[in-house]
Amino acid sequence: MKQLSLFSLALAGIAVLGAAPSALAAEEVVLRYRSFSRTVAIADLATLAETGEAPAGLTGLLDQVGQSPETLQTVLNHRVITDGVVLDKALNSLPGEWLLDQLGQTIRPVSGEASRQALRSALVLSASDDGELTLLEVLQTYPTETVVLEVEQVESVLARIDTLLQPLSRLLGENILEIILRGGF
């Protein structure tokens, strides 16, 4: 019998436990920028991403780093189109694990342990419901209470994710999906 993918296990775990995705997700993010860091509620980032207005907890931080709320809103809402199944298969390959290790230097748990697994879970869960992912969704689905984000590296991370996923998304068609589901990818 085929081994269940991490994606399938995560969905099964949510269904069996009856847990809402937020029960398994990060509530705050440690934003590290140059020589300082600040902990911010992910709910504040979600408000900014949705409305464009920076809650009080973010206003001072944005002033300190010289960024506008619009810039952060754009980064948080940057969409990468991908299929959750294809993403899961890609991230469970040798090149995918290498990419997770690279991305894990920018988005990681506070402990630094199991970074690859946590990031894979967050990426796949983010893409599973609507075929796309955003940085905000990845932070919201990250499976630890707190996640660390190295702010200066975010744009390069988004570019790396785009570079990996766009060719896979273009190739995705009915025949390729069948091959992937049979384990041929």
Distance CA 75, CA 155 (A): 8
pLDDT band of residue 37 (cuts 50, 70, 90) is: confident
pLDDT for 118 beyond 90? yes
pLDDT digits (tens, 9 = 90+) for 159-169: 766 666 566 55
Helix (H, G, I), strand (E, B) or coil at 30: strand
Distance CA 5, CA 85 (A): 9
pLDDT for 133 beyond 60? yes
Bridge partners (DSSP) of residue 20 are: none
pLDDT for 148 beyond 70? yes
